[in-house]
C-alpha cells in the first residue's frame, strides 16, 4: 500500500499549509514536479536529522485533483466539503487545492521544508492558510485535556486511516479532513473542572473515561463515537495539535482526521454539529468555534510518484 505518513504521531511541532491554485492547467508542471521531489526533500532532512521524526504529507482538494489530472479517475469519496449546519453550530466549508502536513521534533527543520515547498509553488499557487502547531504540555489540547486518546494503534490505525481494496486504484491513500477551532478560554476556564469533564467525557488529570452513568449524551467522546450498521466501531486517526497567538487572544486546535472513508469522518461531524438525534450537539462547541473546513485526498507514495511521471 505504501501510504504517506498518515498514521504518524502529532509530533512536537507541525506546520499545516493550504494553497489555492491560480490556474490548475498552468500549475500542472510545477505541481507534478513537486510530487516527484517531495520524497527526496523529506528523505534528505531525515538523513541529516534522523532523531527528529520528520514527516511530510501532500494532498489535493477535489477541484484541484480534477483540474490537475483530468484524465484520471477520482477517489470515490473525494468531494468539496459541504457546510454542516445545526441549530446552534456550523462546520464551515473553506477553499483549498493543495495541502501539506509537516511534522518534526524541531520547528526550524520543517520551516526549511515549508520554504522549499512554497518556493516550488510560488508562481502557480497562493497561500490560503499556514498554521504552526506545537505539542502542548503532555500532549494535551490547549483546553487542558489529553488529545487523541481514542486513536487506534498499529495495524488498526492503518486500517482506519487508509483506503482499502474497496477503491483499489487509490488503496493506501487517505481522506484528510482539516478544521481550525478557536476556543473561548475565558468562558472555559470559568467552568469547574467537574463540568469540564462532563463536556469532554473524561477526567482531566488522569485521562480516565467517565462512567456511562456520569457521561451526558452530548459529551464530546459520546457524540464522536460512531458505529457501522453491524455494530462495529468506526475509527479515524487524529493528529490534532495546539496553536496559539496569545497577544491576539487566540488559542485553538488544528483538527486533522485521516480516514479510509470520508463518510466516517462526515458522520462524526454531523453528530457533533447537528446531533443524533438532532439538537443533541457536542457541548464542546459551546466553547469552540470552527473557522475552517476542507477535505483533501492524500495519495499513497506510489500514486504520488505516478502522478509526477504522467
Which amino acids are annotated catalytic?
147
248: phi then psi, degrees, rounded to nearest 5: -95, 0
> Cα–Cα–Cα angle for 148, 179, 223, nearest 5°?
55
C-alpha–C-alpha distance, residues 162 and 261, integer Å: 8
Rg of the chain on CA atoms, in Å = 19
- Taking the CA atoms of 165, 240, 294 and 222 in sequence, report the sign of the dihedral they define: positive
C-alpha–C-alpha distance, residues 285 and 294, integer Å: 18
Cell of 7: 498514521
Strand-pairing partners, residue 132, are 15
* Pairing outcome for strands 98-104 and 13-21: antiparallel
Q: Are 146 and 207 in contact (CB under 8 A)?
A: yes
Angle, helices 24-48/107-121, rounded to nearest 10 degrees: 150
Amino acid at each position: 500500500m505504501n501510504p504517506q505518513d498518515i498514521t504518524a504521531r502529532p509530533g512536537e511541532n507541525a506546520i499545516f499549509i493550504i494553497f489555492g491554485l491560480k490556474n490548475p492547467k498552468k500549475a500542472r508542471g510545477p505541481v507534478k514536479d513537486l510530487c516527484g521531489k517531495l520524497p527526496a526533500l523529506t528523505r534528505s532532512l531525515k538523513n541529516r536529522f534522523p532523531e527528529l521524526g520528520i514527516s511530510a504529507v501532500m494532498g489535493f482538494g477535489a477541484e484541484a485533483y480534477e483540474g490537475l489530472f483530468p484524465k484520471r479517475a477520482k477517489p470515490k469519496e473525494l468531494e468539496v466539503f459541504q457546510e454542516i449546519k445545526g441549530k446552534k453550530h456550523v462546520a464551515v466549508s473553506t477553499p483549498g487545492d493543495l495541502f501539506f502536513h509537516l511534522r518534526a521534533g524541531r520547528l526550524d527543520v520543517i520551516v526549511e521544508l515549508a520554504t522549499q515547498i512554497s518556493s516550488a509553488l510560488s508562481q502557480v499557487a497562493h497561500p490560503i492558510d499556514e498554521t504552526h502547531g506545537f505539542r502542548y504540555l503532555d500532549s494535551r489540547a490547549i483546553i487542558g485535556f489529553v488529545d487523541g486518546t481514542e486513536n487506534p494503534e498499529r495495524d488498526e490505525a492503518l486500517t482506519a486511516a487508509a483506503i482499502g481494496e474497496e477503491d483499489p486504484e487509490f488503496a493506501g491513500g487517505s481522506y484528510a479532513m482539516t478544521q481550525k477551532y478557536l476556543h473561548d478560554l475565558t468562558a472555559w476556564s470559568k467552568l469547574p473542572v467537574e463540568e469540564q469533564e462532563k463536556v469532554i467525557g473524561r477526567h482531566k488529570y488522569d485521562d480516565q473515561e467517565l462512567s456511562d452513568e456520569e457521561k451526558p449524551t452530548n459529551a464530546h467522546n459520546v457524540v464522536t463515537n460512531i458505529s457501522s450498521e453491524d455494530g462495529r466501531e468506526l475509527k479515524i486517526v487524529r493528529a490534532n495539535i495546539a496553536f496559539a497567538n496569545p497577544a491576539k487572544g487566540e488559542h485553538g486546535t488544528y483538527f486533522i482526521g485521516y480516514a479510509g472513508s470520508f463518510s466516517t469522518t462526515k458522520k462524526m461531524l454531523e453528530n457533533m454539529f447537528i446531533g443524533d438525534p438532532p439538537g443533541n450537539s457536542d457541548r464542546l462547541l459551546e466553547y469552540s468555534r470552527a473557522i475552517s473546513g476542507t477535505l483533501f485526498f492524500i495519495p499513497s507514495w506510489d500514486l504520488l510518484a505516478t502522478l509526477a511521471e504522467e
